[in-house]
Amino acid sequence: MSRTVTIVGAGITSAAAAWSLARKGWRVEVYERADVVGGHVRTEWLHGIPYEPHGAHIFHTNDDEVWRIVSQAAEFVPYRHRVVIRLRGRYLSWPLQAGEFAALPDFTDVAAELARRPEVPDRTNFETYCISLLGPTLYAEAVRDYTVKQWGSDPATLDTSIAEGRVGLRRDGYSDMFRDTYQGWPRRGYTAVVESLLRSASVHLGQTVTLDDVPAITRPGDPVIVTAPLDDFCSEPGALDWRGVRLEASYHPEVVYAQPAMVVNEPAPDVAWTRTVETKWALPELSERPGTVVLREFPGARTKHYPVADAAGANRRTQEQLCRRLNEYRRNPLIPAGRLATYRYLNMDAAMRTGLEAARRVLAC
């Protein structure tokens, strides 16, 4: 008789864990609160045009195993992600390119600020870190107000981890966002990837599972992988700070492309949204087809998209307390995995990796 593992959540992390354990002969039971699978990476379609109701998701990785798994689960097309920022009435590359500022009226002042940057970034907090990378002028124009909109917080209260790998200044002219070996976008969208990986699992939709529900859906000793936020799973709403986004989609039937790249950042404080997303850029076969979907991303929704890494570490300590509750639960092994359950700002490949590691822990139970 095969053993059973229960997985809470049906996003990309859960799908990776389910795929791995099903291949080892485990019976996999997945419980998802929503009425569809995919979680935050879910893709929707309108008149054959893809869009993402939870924001842009780009698959990029140097992890050979993760890439092999997703590319076998679904067909990926080559896609190199570009982000631009609307600044001073023009579109500039993001991350910022030093060469693009040469024509600015105050470039001499900006260049002098860049020359005074410290050799080692100041990691006191998000703001000191970004200023030490960009200088005060570029930070003020490109990052500060965007960050206030995105996080609803003073940048000086945020941890440097939010900026690392996302804020920087390039001098090499490389305009793609990422440099990873493997990059692409699934031709049928991310929902198809998740569905493929969950093919051998029993999936229960519209089912919210908390710690109190575990005895009703598992046998003693059976492992449980948790990919839901731990404050929700432990029935402690509000214990952790989260930042959510709301996306408004608009369809433009006569336009091939509505903007110069998939993502356009909007740092101006008088613009209510933080960025616009046009997922159509990911599929080259749509490059001559009229019709596109653009989403405006508004911050501050009552959803749990982004963990808030505060400079003081209060949320990290709360997360550690919630993890201890899972470790102290004796009836079943409880294993957190993924962005929400680990309270970390993970890219998709890293989220999948936590799912695969959770599966390995299950096998060791």
pLDDT digits (tens, 9 = 90+) for 21-80: 999 999 999 999 999 999 999 999 999 999 999 999 999 999 999 999 999 999 999 999
Domain with 146, as residue range(s), is 83-170
How far apart are the C-alpha atoms of 179 and 181, rounded to whole Å?
A: 7
For residue 277, give the nearest of 70, 48, 58 by alpha carbon. Answer: 58
**Are residues 99 and 72 located together in one domain of the fold?**
no
Q: Is the pTM of this model over 0.85?
A: yes
**Are residues 139 and 156 located together in one domain of the fold?**
yes
- Residue 60 · residue 183 · CB < 8 Å: yes
> Is the link from the previous residue into 95 a cis peptide, with omega within 30 of 0?
yes
Read off the DSSP letter of residue 310. Answer: B
Query: Three-state SS for 340?
Result: helix
* Residue 34 structure tokens: 């929503």
Q: CATH code at 25?
A: 3.40.50.720
More confident residue, 2 or 98: 98
Helix axes 64-73, 348-363, angle to 10 degrees: 100
How far apart are the C-alpha atoms of 246 and 361, rounded to whole Å?
A: 35
279 falls within a domain: no
pLDDT of residue 1: 57
Judge whether residue 365 has pLDDT over 90.
no
**Are residues 116 and 230 located together in one domain of the fold?**
no
For residue 266, give the nearest of 308, 295, 309 by alpha carbon. Answer: 295
pLDDT of residue 60: 98
How far apart are the C-alpha atoms of 253 and 308, rounded to whole Å?
A: 38
**Are residues 107 and 74 located together in one domain of the fold?**
no
Task: Summarize the confidence of residues 174-194 as an average pLDDT.
Answer: 97
Helix axes 190-197, 12-23, angle to 10 degrees: 30
**Are residues 17 and 62 located together in one domain of the fold?**
yes
Looking from the CA of 325 toward its CB, the CA atoms found within 13 Å total 17
- Residue 320 · residue 308 · CB < 8 Å: no
* Residue 10 structure tokens: 């049906």
How far apart are the C-alpha atoms of 128 and 135, rounded to whole Å?
A: 10
Query: Three-state SS for 9?
Result: coil
